[in-house]
Amino acid sequence: MTWAVVALLLVRTRRSGAVTRSTAERMTCPCRFDWLMAWARKGMNHLAARVRTLIRSCASIGNNASCSEDIGGPSLDIGRSQSIVVKSKLINATEDSVPSSDFSQEKINFNSYYEKNLGILKEARNSFIALITALLRQKPDIRISKVEGRIKEEGECIAKFSEKYLPDLERNNIDYEIRDHITDLVGLRIVCLDDEDVEKISALVQEHFDKARQVEDAAPENGDVLEYKGIHLDLKLNDRRSDLFEYQSCKDVGFELQIRSIAQDSWSVLHPKIKLRNLLPFH
């Protein structure tokens, strides 16, 4: 900085005539003035070199900046020239992972699978929420309360498998992998304002996703009024969507979608608590 200031002052004063070399000065102190001007030129050259270096650095940053994504969110990686790598497949627990009937080992395999793929699962959840939200915005006649999603906790997955699937698998001596039976590892929920919009939303979503299974929670024939109606769909991106670049990282991820009206959603929260507290009679 000192070089730059001194050099600029000398140039300005020389141009304005404040510093001149008379014949007498040249004869009495020829070395002092020449040394001072050489020092100023050196400063200007140093400043110019620094500016050129700064310009090259800026150009390099512009060319080599790339975007990388982790579980915590997007970050800017500067200074390394690299291509964008898209993870298109879920990672197995181990390279030679195969089904077995050993529950302890399968729990270990599932925990490893869960930890390795948590980033992909979160990215898939966010992508599905964004896509479904965009689709619903194109239907102004459907009034939406919220679109939300979650990743099921490891412990919940193990507990669900142990209660719902493990007894039959062990009884029939069938090998298994826990992840094959957890279809709601990624879960989304659409809550609309009107009951009649539930079917409309289901039809709209199935235009962009392939349906593996559909379950309707309808009131039973025994007239139990404490049951709510809703639609649960097991979905994956259809071929048209999964071929798009922005969905390459989540094209192999399936998820469960729950579609409810706001009344159905509220009742689904209250219903178990009311039963638990025996506030109403049940038959």
Closest to 181 in 3D by CA, of 189, 170, 192: 170
Answer for the pair 114, 154: CB distance below 8 angstroms, yes or no: yes
Local confidence band at 8 (pLDDT 50, 70, 90 cut-offs): low
List the structure tokens of 95: 């390279």
Q: Which of 2-11, 153-162, 259-268 has the highest mean pLDDT?
A: 153-162
The domain limits of the chain are 2-66, 103-277
Q: Pick the residue with more confidence: 203 or 229?
A: 203
Local confidence band at 266 (pLDDT 50, 70, 90 cut-offs): confident
Kindly write down the DSSP assignment for every residue of 99-155, as one continuous string: -BS-HHHHHHHHHHHHHHHHHHHHHHHHHHHHHHHHHHHT-TTS-EEEEEEEE--HH
pLDDT for res 215 = 73
pLDDT for res 201 = 96
Answer for the pair 226, 158: CB distance below 8 angstroms, yes or no: no
CATH topology of domain 103-277: Beta Polymerase; domain 2 (3.30.460)
pLDDT for res 77 = 35
Closest to 251 in 3D by CA, of 140, 138, 86: 86
Average pLDDT over residues 129-156: 95
Distance in angstroms (rounded) separating the CA atoms of residues 47 and 41: 10
Q: Which amino acid is at 13?
A: T
Distance in angstroms (rounded) separating the CA atoms of residues 260 and 266: 9
Local confidence band at 74 (pLDDT 50, 70, 90 cut-offs): very low
Average pLDDT over residues 214-234: 65
